[in-house]
Amino acid sequence: MTSVDADKQAERGAKSSTGHERDDLPPVIAIDGPSGAGKGAVAQVLANQLNYHLLDSGAVYRAAAIICKKAGADISSESSVLAALDAFQATFHPQGTDGVVVMIGEENITNELRTQQTAEIASQIAVMQPIRAALLDEQRSFRQPPGLIADGRDMGTVVFPDAQLKVFLTASVEERANRRAKQLKEKGIETTMAVLMAEIDARDKRDSTREHAPLKAAHDALFIDSSSLSIEEVVDLIVNAASSE
């Protein structure tokens, strides 16, 4: 089956004959967009405010990247990556407002999840369709009552095509690099804007030009540019849009 077929089938399976969200499934608010657009912070505030579950799908890809590293997988080989994902499993333990603790067996990998190297490997294995397919069920298992806030690149287009509300959240590359620089500085890591902008640009290109589930706005997504908006302002826009659905 091609990825397009798989995506269409996913969409058919998730929708009722009327094309609307299936009544028996908890509602989902899908937030997609490039790295550094503020998806994570907005999703966390929304999940707390609505008392919904939270899926940081980037963490699922990052955990898969760490599994590959641990297993010594060849990340240019689909079969090698799949074998690593078969051998190890990451578990996700939500900590309320403090995000999520991620474990592989007894090992806490939460800090390793956030490194630049992990992001790079995640983005490289994320281009492979069999890897994306292997991670689908895990992501969909977060859809529990009373509802889910899901953030990522393909939440509204592939993973939850029947989401109650789809948001595409973006910001200028300069603003995203600025935000990243601030985060890194808080961790005592110095870098230059030029390096950060080049890294963000390269990852954006890979994510949005890949063949399978590329980063793109769903046709029915609400587009929000967060360059000059606070987290609270973005949250308000989304809550208002969700309540008028």
User: Where on the chain is the footprint of ligand C5P (CB under 6 A)?
Assistant: 35, 57-58, 61-62, 119, 122-123, 126, 152-154, 203, 207
> Which residue's CB is nearer to ligand C5P, number 131 or number 235?
131
Element at 29 (helix H, strand E): strand 28-32
> Which residue's CB is nearer to ligand C5P, number 58 or number 147?
58
> Which residue's CB is nearer to ligand C5P, number 20 or number 40?
40
Give the total residue count for the chain.
245
CB of 134 to ligand C5P, least distance (A): 13
CB of 17 to ligand C5P, least distance (A): 28
CB of 34 to ligand C5P, least distance (A): 8
Gap between the Cα atoms of 40 and 31, Å rounded: 9
CB of 122 to ligand C5P, least distance (A): 4
CB of 51 to ligand C5P, least distance (A): 23
Residue in the shown chain whose Cβ atom is closest to ligand C5P? 58
Q: Which residues contact 21 (CB under 8 A, 6 or more apart)?
A: 15, 27, 28, 162, 163, 164
> Which residue's CB is nearer to ligand C5P, number 16 or number 183?
183
Output the CA torsion sign for 32, 244, 99, 84. Answer: negative
> Which residue's CB is nearer to ligand C5P, number 23 or number 98?
98
> Which residue's CB is nearer to ligand C5P, number 173 or number 244?
173
Amino acid identity of residue 190, one-letter, is E
CB of 146 to ligand C5P, least distance (A): 22
DSSP state of 168: E
Is residue 32 within 8 A of residue 155, CB to CB? The reply is yes
Gap between the Cα atoms of 116 and 178, Å rounded: 16
* Alpha carbon 157 to its chain's center: 12
Query: Token digits for 24?
Result: 């028996």
Query: Token digits for 7?
Result: 């995506």
Helix (H, G, I), strand (E, B) or coil at 167: strand
